[in-house]
Amino acid sequence: MRTAQKTEFQKKNMQASTLEDFQMLKIVGKGTFGKVFQVIHTRTKKVYAMKCIRKDVVIKNESMDSLKLEKEILYEVNHPFIVGMDYVFSDADRIYFLMDFIEGGELFRHLVKVRRFQHEAAKFMIA
């Protein structure tokens, strides 16, 4: 794991941490901008999803505004049914979002797979 320059953000109620406080467990996804890993906080033992975003790809795709908006939304979310984010780190090459780890993957990935959810499945997810 790389050495982060600093903690960019952390939730108000979270103890200060560095990127080195997280141990990678496994890769759980790959996307256009980077990879997502399942990690564990070595002190608290809380499991997180760590989204590693390549800065060069974000800049190349002119997606900086979208990334900033994603960070702001995830950081402000405080709801039991919506994934929130506890930490943001960066180094020279990447930005790291540390979010609650939820088993099962992204909703969008499942939607792409089936194209349209059955009525019962949609009702379940909305509930």
d(CA 25, CA 20): 14
Each residue of 24-43: pLDDT tens digit? Answer: 999 998 888 889 999 999 99
Listing DSSP states for 75-87 in one string gives: HH--BTTB--EEE
% pLDDT > 90, the chain:
33
User: Region 71-94: what's the mean pLDDT?
Assistant: 87
- Residue 14 pLDDT > 80, yes or no? no
Q: How many CB atoms lie within 10 A of CB 22?
A: 24
Given a cut of 60, whether residue 3 has pLDDT beyond it is no
How high is the pLDDT of residue 15?
A: 79
Report the predicted TM-score, pTM, of the whole model to 2 decimal places: 0.77
pLDDT of residue 5: 52
**6-126, superfamily in CATH?**
Phosphorylase Kinase; domain 1 (3.30.200.20)
Q: Which two tokens stand for residue 89?
A: 């780190």
What ranges do the domains of the chain cover? Answer: 6-126
Query: Mean pLDDT over residues 90-100, rounded?
Result: 90
Highest mean pLDDT among 10-14, 35-39, 98-102, 104-108: 35-39
Least Cα distance to 8 among 84, 68, 78 occurs for: 68
Residue appearing with tokens 């990935």:
109
Cα-based distances in Å from 28 to 31, 37, 47, 106: 10, 5, 13, 10
3-state SS class at 65: helix
Cα 44 to Cα 124: distance, rounded to the nearest angstrom: 32
